[in-house]
Structure 1
Amino acid sequence: MTESGSAELKRRHRAMWALGDYPSVATEVISGLGRRLVEACRIGAGQHVLDIAAGSGNAAIPAAETGAEVVASDLTPELFEAGRRLAAERGVELRWQQADAEALPYADADFDAVISCVGVMFAPFHQAAADEMLRVTRPGGTIGLINWTPTGFIGQMFATMKPFAPPPPPGAQPPPLWGDETHVRSLLGDRVTDLELRRENAVIDRFADGAEFRDFFKSYYGPAVAVYKAIAAEPDRVAQLDRELTELAARHDLGDGRMEWEYLLVTARRS
């Protein structure tokens, strides 16, 4: 990809995540994931921590609450305002910085822990993002990720939306691949030790039924907003996607308005 093409891809990617209201998704739907990641990584006072693709701070703010010195980085700085408000409400301070996960503006071995909660998985070129994540982690430092799996609900949601979405750029890989154990092992290779890969479920009780889920995500979740925007002039396709997302959520309903969204929890030490 040319330099101009890469810049345009980043512009589009930033614009997609600025659509809707991702901070509402983070706080109303998946608020517990960030704290789960911080606990799994045993982040604590005195550590220098980087949260990649931090959004509005779902993991960065709980990390700061432990007493760690935290940098929350994201390609889409439009998400920072909500994060700053939430951090202020919780009485913590952290540094917010625009940064591309595939070209981080930090020195080698700069951080004691590098984490990402359903964030770095959306960088289009997985190996580049993994290489940068490893580069900025000190030897012996912690790497921690939570990634949606291909077989879980969010992975299936992306598979449902794929036929309605514009084609991805050449070489870009699907985000849920970061939730596949074999793929993660290949990205990290022998540059980590003590690698643990655990499948867990987030219990989601925000939506009464599939229609409420669909309406919330098509209004607030950037990737879904972008897909609907792309087909807005095709009412039949909009109606079809509406049906398919509603049916997907209904199939995952546990029977009492709750769903389980599978994710892969990754922890490792930098070699």
Structure 2
Amino acid sequence: MSESTTAPTGDHALKVKHRAMWALGDYPAVATEVIPELGPILVSACEVGPGDRVLDVGAGSGNAAIPAALTGATVVASDLTPELFDAGRRDADAAGTTLTWQEADAEALPFDDASFDVAFSCVGIMFAPHHQPSADELVRVTRPGGRIGLLSWTPAGFIGRMFAIMKPYAPPPPPGAQPPPLWGDESHVRSLLGERVTDVQARTANLRVERFATGEEFRDFFKAAYGPTIAVYRAIAGEPDRVAALDRELAELGRSYDLGGGAMDWEYLLLTARRAG
């Protein structure tokens, strides 16, 4: 959920496609019903507080931006898909806080250098197709000494495995696009940020998800609400055998993670750093 149509001309069609994909279904329901704990975890790790200028890249409907605003920070929630902002505004109003919502491209952010004390992304920037430009922009808009925070699904965790399952059913990615779960690989993120950051701290942890009683319930929810899953099913809609096969694989994935009582653990990487200089 990042990027925007202000990107370079060669990427325009790809950006439009990504924006449309994240507008499918009901991502705000995913944010509020499935992963609500992730935003506060990232906000706490970045030590966001009153007076901080904060940028959330790939903010979606604000599952990290709103908790940041509740600390007294001044927050900009940026995303490729402004269709998600209406739900975010409603959630912010209900929480009793305000923030700025701005359509923006993770790979070409419309903000000045060193504009923010904190720049972070909660399972958002990882879906920008080109990783290095996104990392470059994240560093650029953070002031020297400012904090950078990234919370991303790992390749080996539940969501990483879900994307691996869907890959054979999806159209080939465009040249140069990189897999989102690579942002959950510590060495990959360290290489993206390079020597421009210091005080890097990284750890993997699990989000306990208790939203789905069965693997089939997980599959059906994601088929209805999660843009990437919806897009894959649309790509194979005319092939009933492949639809049935993907149905089976996703339901089995859900069952394989069942800890009993409908609980699952979804692994993520939490990485924080400070901009050098």
**Structure 1 length as normaliser, TM-score?**
0.99
Structure 1 partner of 2:235: 230
Q: Is 2:135 the partner of 1:135? A: no
The one-letter amino acid of 1:8's match is A
The alignment's C-alpha RMSD in Å is 0.9
- Distance in 2 of aligned mates of 1:116 and 1:238: 32
Q: Report matched runs for 1:117-266 at 5 Å.
A: 117-266=122-271
**Residue type matched to 1:150 in 2?**
P
Partner Cα distance (2:146, 2:9) in 1: 35
The match for 2:35 is 30
Partner of 2:3: none
Correspondences of 1:7-22 after superposition (within 5 Å): 7-22=12-27
Look up the equivalent residue of 1:6 and give its one-letter code: D
Residues 117-149 of structure 1, C-alpha deviations (whole Å, 9 max, x = no match):
000000000000000000000000000110000
For structure 1, list consecutive stretches of 5 or more residues without a partner in the other structure.
Answer: none
Q: For 2:223 and 2:244, how far apart are their aligned partners in 1? A: 12
1:90 aligns with 2:103: no
TM-score, normalization by structure 2: 0.96
> Paired residues, what number?
270
SS at match of 1:42: coil
**Number of the residue aligned with 2:120:** 115
Deviation at 1:3, TM superposition (A): 4.6
AA aligned opposite 2:140: R
Q: 1:249 aligns to what SS in structure 2?
A: helix
Q: Distance in 2 between matches of 1:239 and 1:18?
A: 25
Is there any run of 5+ residues in structure 2 with no aligned partner, and where?
1-6
Q: What is the CA-CA distance between 1:4 and the residue it aligns to?
A: 3.8
Q: 1:218 and 1:61 mapped to 2: Cα distance?
A: 26
What is the distance in 2 between the residues matched to 1:222 and 1:262? 20
> Residue 80 of structure 1 corresponds to which residue in structure 2?
85
Query: Using the alignment, how far apart are the partners of 2:163 and 2:253 within structure 1?
Result: 11
Instruction: State the SS of the aligned residue for 1:31.
Output: coil
Superposition misfits of 4+ residues, deviation over 6 angstroms: none
Separation in structure 1 between the aligned mates of residue 28 and residue 171 of structure 2, nearest angstrom? 25
* Percent identity over paired residues: 70
Out of 59-68 and 253-262, give the one that drifted further: 253-262
Give the alignment partner of residue 103 of structure 1, picking from 102, 108, 113.
Answer: 108
Q: Distance in 2 between matches of 1:151 and 1:218?
A: 21
